[in-house]
Chain A
Amino acid sequence: MHVLYAFGAVGAAGLYLSLPSARRAGRPLRWAGAILGAAALGAAAVYWTRWIGPAFGGRSFFVAFAAIAVIAAARAVTHPRPARSAMYFVLVVLAVTGLCVLAAAPFLGAVLAIVCGGAILVTYAFVVTLAREGLQTAYNRTAREPVAAVTLGFVMVASTLQAMVSTDQIAAQAPEKASAYTRPISTHHTKSNEIPTHGAAIDPAAVNGDQGNIRAVGGTLMTTYIMALGVAGVLLLAAMAGVAALARKRIDPAAWGDGTTERWKDKSGRAKERESESSRPDMRAEA
């Protein structure tokens, strides 16, 4: 029985206590949850640094960024106010950016900070402000099936851990069998296949070659994945058209009249449209 499972169970219990719950009348045991989660994280960090030994000096940034990411994610998921959750989500993105920079991927980190931490966050902020809801809404203060959700999350992390531990054991017992797990699939963009992961710090030149990360990733995108790049552009265009179609104001076709050009000029038609929308029974009932 691996001791990391125990840490995971303690962390899952902390996450459950932090979730808003109907049984406790919307008052989560946030302090107990935070203490449990911090205990699990600290124990895991100490255990992990003992595991990898004296290389902790170069890995302190990794531990710090990982802890920030996990804590901010837990807080973003459990916070009752969506606006604050969006801010914690930015913290997650920035911590993941730091982890990407540590993993010799600074360009990806910059893209993440700009797109996820900037553009996507602004979209969320727009929606949070557009959908003006009360602060004390019941659905923000209660969780739906928290026990099942937390159990499922713990099972997922535990099974991932189990898979990693078992592949480590395969690698330790039979190197020729383990080669299927560790062999590089394709090496044509790199200088060397052997990345030192124990002890020494990551050498960015081993991943990026001698030409820098932006040039290397850009070259990969423009040669190997040029087709996928075009498909991604088409996807963005389709999403833009779809959002424009979704966000269009609903107009009752009965109020349109015949021509498509007079639709916007005809004042009586627009008056009729407003009238028909306000007289729809379902809208009035909900308002």
Chain B
Amino acid sequence: MSLINAYLLVGAILFAVGMVGFLSRRNLIMMFLSTEIMLQGVILNLVGFGLKHGQLAGQAFAMFLVVTAAVEAGLALGLVLLLFRRQKTLDVEAWQTLHG
């Protein structure tokens, strides 16, 4: 196992820990924080593969991933605030019966 594989493994562990948080936490803010942790794992994967292939595409793509993470955080937290204003709770199970 080389250093590249170690990068991939750390990235996979970060992704998995974030996925566990996303699936098991009930707070809306915590769920989106977990997706950010998953994105950190993906960035490590991209950097590791860029290192393996000796080119800059991985780093460039990671930049776009950072942009997407910022966009996602802004939009998601706007939505969270909107939902909190309606139900006065951040519990995701308060929204499991959606009725229009």
B17's partner among A62, A74, A126 (CB-CB below 8 A) is A74
From A59, A149, A221, contact of B60 by CB (8 A): A221
Cβ of A36 within 8 Å of any chain B Cβ, yes or no, is no
Instruction: Judge if B75 is at the interface, Cβ distance under 8 Å.
Output: yes
Question: Looking across the interface, which residue of chain A has its beta carbon closest to that of B88?
Answer: A286
B interface secondary structure, majority: helix
A153 engages B63 (CB within 8 Å): no
Chain A: interface residue total (CB-CB under 8 A) = 101
Do B48 and A103 have beta carbons less than 8 Å apart? yes
Who on chain B is nearest to A95 by CB?
Answer: B40
Q: For the complex, give the distance between the alpha carbons of A127 and B68 in Å.
A: 19
B16 touches A153 (CB 8 A): yes
Partner of A77, one of B8, B34, B51, B69: B34
In the bound complex, CA of A120 to CA of B4 (Å): 28
Chain B residues positioned under 8 Å from A190 (CB to CB): 54-56
- Cβ-neighbour of B75 out of A51, A77, A246 (below 8 A): A246
B33 touches A86 (CB 8 A): yes
The CA-CA distance from A123 to B20 in the complex, in Å, is 23
| Inter-chain contact B71/A239, CB cutoff 8 Å | yes
- Contact, CB under 8 Å: B3 / A197: yes
> Are A149's CB and B24's CB within 8 A?
yes
Q: In the assembly, what is the distance between CA of A102 and CA of B78, in Å?
A: 35
What 0/1 pattern do residues 230 to 256 of A give for CB contact below 8 A with B? 001001100110110011000000000
Closest Cβ neighbor of B8 among chain A residues: A164
A19 with B24, Cβ < 8 A, contacts A120-B69, A161-B9, A232-B67 known:
yes
Pairwise interchain contact B4-A197, C-beta atoms closer than 8 A: yes
In the bound complex, CA of A104 to CA of B53 (Å): 13
Report chain A residues within 8 Å CB of B74. Answer: 123, 239-240, 243
Query: Per a CB cutoff under 8 Å, which of B52, B59, B89 touches A105?
Result: B59
Q: Is the CB of B24 within 8 A of A160?
A: no
Task: Let me know if B1 and A131 touch, CB within 8 A.
Answer: no
A216 is an interface residue with CB less than 8 A from chain B = yes
Contact check, B29 vs A124: say whether CB atoms are below 8 A apart: yes
Which of B24, B44, B69 contacts A116 (CB under 8 A)? B69
In the complex the two chains form, is A220's CB within 8 Å of B3's CB? no
Which residues of A, 169-225, contact B by the 8 Å Cβ criterion? 182, 184-187, 189-190, 192-195, 197-198, 202, 206-208, 216-217, 220-221, 224-225
**A17 within 8 Å of B (CB atoms):** no
Contacting A at CB under 8 A, from B1-43, are 1-10, 12-21, 23-27, 29-30, 32-34, 36-37, 40, 43
Q: Tell me which residues across on chain B come within 8 A of A236, comparing CB atoms.
A: 67, 70-71
The reply to whether the CB of A150 lies closer than 8 angstroms to some CB of chain B is: yes
User: By the criterion CB–CB under 8 Å, are A127 and B77 in contact?
Assistant: yes
Q: Complex Cα distance A103/B6, Å?
A: 12
Task: Convert B75-97 into 0s and 1s, putting 1 for each residue whose CB lies closer than 8 angstroms to a CB of A.
Answer: 10111111010111111110000
Query: Given A99-B7, A235-B71, A243-B75, does the pair A185, B16 have CB atoms closer than 8 Å?
Result: no
**Are A156 and B19 CB-contacts (below 8 A) given A103-B51, A207-B50?**
yes
The interface residues of chain A lying within 8 Å CB-to-CB of B59 are: 105, 107-108, 217, 220
